[in-house]
């Protein structure tokens, strides 16, 4: 068995310049990173550039990139169509704070992909999209409380940074009625008292929660395919049942498609499930690698927003021309039907190869996911909710993940709760090479 210390030494020997940069950065910013998700032991690598499915670090090492910026890259790095669109717009000006000619085209493209929505409003990050989605649900229903899924992440604003990844079973409360646990110091108890938590894939628990809070719940927010405690697919009929329950209780159903939107299919989770939420959140892949997000809603919620209604949505950078140009090029020029077919094919090949390796090496692990997205859990069974991921052997995962990294495969972001994001730039050769590295890493375990 390869020792973990040997793998870490291999990584350190390959990345001395990253180590130096990280030491310097740590004197300027806590942990040397601008988001805690980016830190891992012994130090993160610092990136220099990327092209299609590969990236290079500041030490000159090449990596197959399956993280693709947490899913924000879907076209592959430095795609020529997107660079062209950005440069053309930059030459005309980067920011005006005045409506521009490309915005209409982008909105039309979003509505083409999500025909059940009546409108989309552009904003900049997934965080903003979920914040406005909740405000819209509250404005529409006139109620205060929201329900989220235990273990899921919807951004870092106070209402949703709750019961994200609680680790201590003693704090979690009963499985059918999880406790509301704020994840950060500084989140007010008065704010999170309005956030209720239910387990994923459990309609009885949702119904009971709504009954306990009769007439008080504005909305239920969920990813239509969970991608935030690793990949966790909805059980057969689950989303349909959630739709029926929320409709019966007059509660807005919000699909947070920040990770899966325009990625798992042109019309994301709505298209693959056939379930129509009241409100939807998009970001990441839709931006073509630039900060871009949107929240949208059905006809019934058309006149809620100012100036038709009194719900406010602000933002200096909303619909900024560079992000709009990149987004439009990504969605209309790169993300064709063939592009989705290619990504899905690469994804299936990857899953089959990983399953084969797991079997041959007799590792107690499973791989689960959809399209270009998948997670490897070091446990015997595929989890159906957050608590079932607690059996994941984190030490084995870290050793396996680090082995991949030290050998040039950035399989996912540095957390056992993350997943791969295949891009259109991921080639058959990338997948073949990746599968060899994955097999070597399982063998080393």
Ligand X SMILES: Cc1ncc(COP(=O)(O)O)c(C=O)c1O
Measured from the CB atom, the residue of 223 and 278 that comes closer to ligand X is: 223
Q: Please identify, using beta-carbon distances, which residue of 11 and 417 lies nearer to ligand X.
A: 417
Question: Any idea which residue has 């270009």 for tokens?
Answer: 372
| Closest distance to ligand X from the beta carbon of 26 (Å) | 23
- Binding to ligand X (CB under 6 A): which residues in 227-246? 228
Per-residue DSSP letter, 45 = P
How many residues of this chain bind ligand X (CB under 6 A)? 14
- Is the separation of the CB atoms in 423 and 389 below 8 Å? no
Nearer to ligand X, 125 or 273 (CB): 125
Considering only the stretches 20-28, 123-131, 246-254, 271-279, report the one whose residues sit in contact with ligand X under the rule CB under 6 A.
123-131
* Only segment of 11-19, 212-220, 251-259, 431-439 that touches ligand X (CB under 6 A): 251-259
Residue 318 makes contact with ligand X by CB under 6 A? no
Identify the bridge partners of residue 219 per DSSP, sorted by sequence position.
Answer: 146, 252
Query: How far apart are CB 144 and ligand X at their closest, in Å?
Result: 21
Is 399 a residue that touches ligand X (CB under 6 A)? Answer: no
* Residue 259 contacts ligand X per CB under 6 A: yes
Q: Could you give the CA distance from residue 10 to residue 342 in angstroms, rounded to a whole number? A: 34
Which 188-227 residues touch ligand X, going by CB under 6 A?
A: 223
Helix (H) or strand (E) holding 23: helix 16-26
Applying CB under 6 A, which of residues 14, 54, 154, 263 lies at the interface with ligand X? 154
Residue nearest to ligand X according to CB distances in the complex: 126
Least distance to ligand X, CB of residue 152, Å: 7
Alpha carbon of 22 to those of 7, 15, 67, 84, 408: distances in Å?
19, 11, 20, 33, 19
69 is a site residue for ligand X (CB under 6 A): no
Instruction: Based on the shown chain and the rule CB under 6 A, indicate whether residue 130 belongs to the binding site for ligand X.
Output: yes
DSSP string, 94-152: S--SS--HHHHHHHHHHHHH-TT-SEEEEESSHHHHHHHHHHHHHHHH---EEEEETT-
420 scored as a contact of ligand X (CB under 6 A): no
Selected range binding ligand X among 20-28, 125-133, 172-180, 204-212, rule: CB under 6 A: 125-133
Ramachandran bin of 237, using left for φ above 0, alpha for ψ from -120 to 50, beta for the remaining angles? left
CA dist 281 and 148 (Å) reads: 14
419 belongs to the binding site for ligand X (CB under 6 A): no
Question: Toward ligand X, which CB reaches closer, 34 or 94?
Answer: 34
Contact flag: residue 61 with ligand X (CB under 6 A): no
**Burial class for 39, CB neighbours closer than 10 Å (0-12, 13-18, 19+):** middle
DSSP one-letter string for 273-332: H----SEEEE-GGGGTTSS-EEEEE-GGGGGGBTTTSSB----TTTT-HHHHHHHHHIII
The rounded distance, in Å, linking the Cα atoms of 289 and 79 is: 10
Give the CB-side neighbour count of residue 268, counting CA atoms within 13 A.
33
Q: Which of 195, 257, 205, 186 is nearest to 387 (CA)?
A: 205
Q: Which residue, 109 or 256, has its beta carbon nearer to ligand X? A: 256
- Maximal C-alpha separation, the chain: 65
CA separation for the pair 322, 436 (Å, rounded): 39
CA nearest 175: which of 197, 191, 154, 157?
Answer: 197
66 scored as a contact of ligand X (CB under 6 A):
no
Interface with ligand X by CB under 6 A: which range of 77-85, 253-261, 401-409, 426-434? 253-261
The yes or no reply on residue 155 touching ligand X (CB under 6 A) is yes
Residues numbered 269-288 forming contacts with ligand X, rule: CB under 6 A? 283
**CA distances to 53, 55, 294 from 429, in Å:** 10, 15, 34
Q: Which residues are catalytic?
A: 153, 256, 284
Q: Which is nearer to ligand X, 275 or 406 (CB)?
A: 275
List the one residue from 50, 76, 126, 288 that touches ligand X (CB under 6 A): 126
Is 296 among the residues that bind ligand X (CB under 6 A)? no
The reply on whether position 323 binds ligand X by CB under 6 A is: no
Measured from the CB atom, the residue of 159 and 435 that comes closer to ligand X is 159
Interacting span for ligand X (CB under 6 A) from 48-56, 137-145, 147-155, 311-319? 147-155
Stretch that binds ligand X, among 151-159, 330-338, 347-355, 421-429 (CB under 6 A): 151-159
Q: By C-beta, is 292 or 441 nearer to ligand X?
A: 292
**195: helix, coil or strand?**
strand
User: Would you call 56 helix, strand, or coil by DSSP?
Assistant: strand
Contact positions vs ligand X (CB under 6 A): 70, 125-127, 130, 153-155, 223, 228, 256, 258-259, 283
């Amino acid at each position: 068995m390869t020792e973990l210390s040997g793998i870490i030494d291999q990584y350190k020997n390959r990345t001395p310049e990253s180590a130096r940069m990280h030491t310097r950065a740590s004197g300027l910013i806590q942990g040397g990173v601008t988001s805690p998700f980016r830190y891992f032991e012994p130090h993160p690598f610092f990136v220099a550039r990327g092209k299609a499915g590969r990236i290079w670090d500041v030490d000159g090492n090449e990596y197959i990139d399956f993280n693709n910026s947490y899913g924000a890259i879907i076209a592959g790095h430095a795609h020529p169509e997107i660079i062209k669109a950005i440069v053309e717009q930059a030459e005309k000006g980067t920011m005006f704070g005045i409506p521009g000619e490309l915005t209409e085209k982008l909105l039309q493209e979003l509505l083409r992909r999500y025909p059940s929505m009546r409108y989309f409003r552009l904003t900049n990050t997934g965080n903003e999209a979920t914040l406005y989605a909740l405000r819209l649900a509250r404005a529409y229903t006139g109620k205060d409380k929201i329900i989220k899924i235990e273990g899921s992440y919807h951004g870092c604003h106070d209402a949703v940074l709750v019961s994200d990844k609680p680790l201590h079973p003693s704090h979690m409360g009963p499985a059918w009625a999880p406790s509301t646990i704020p994840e950060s110091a500084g989140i007010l108890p008065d704010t999170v008292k309005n956030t209720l938590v239910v387990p994923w894939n459990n309609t009885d628990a949702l119904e009971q929660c709504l009954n306990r809070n009769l007439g008080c719940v504005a909305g239920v927010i969920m990813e239509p395919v969970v991608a935030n405690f690793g990949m966790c697919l909805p059980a057969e009929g689950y989303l349909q049942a959630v739709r029926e329950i929320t409709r019966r209780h007059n509660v807005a159903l919000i699909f947070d498609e920040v990770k899966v939107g325009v990625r798992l299919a042109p019309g994301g989770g709505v298209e693959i499930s056939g379930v129509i939420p009241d409100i939807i959140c998009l970001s990441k892949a839709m931006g073509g690698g630039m900060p871009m997000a949107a929240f949208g809603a059905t006809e019934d919620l058309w006149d809620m927003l100012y100036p038709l209604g009194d719900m406010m949505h602000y933002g200096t950078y909303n619909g900024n021309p560079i992000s709009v140009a990149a987004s439009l090029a990504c969605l209309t020029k790169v993300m064709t039907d063939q592009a989705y077919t290619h990504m899905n094919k690469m994804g299936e090949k990857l899953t089959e190869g990983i399953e084969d390796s797991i079997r041959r090496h007799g590792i107690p692990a499973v791989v689960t996911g959809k399209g270009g997205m998948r997670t490897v859990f070091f446990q015997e069974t595929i989890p159906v909710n957050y608590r079932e991921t607690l059996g994941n052997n984190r030490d084995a995962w870290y050793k396996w993940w680090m082995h991949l990294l030290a050998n040039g495969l950035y399989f996912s972001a540095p957390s056992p709760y993350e997943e791969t994001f295949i891009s259109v730039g991921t080639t058959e050769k990338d997948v073949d090479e990746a599968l060899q590295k994955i097999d070597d890493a399982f063998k080393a375990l």
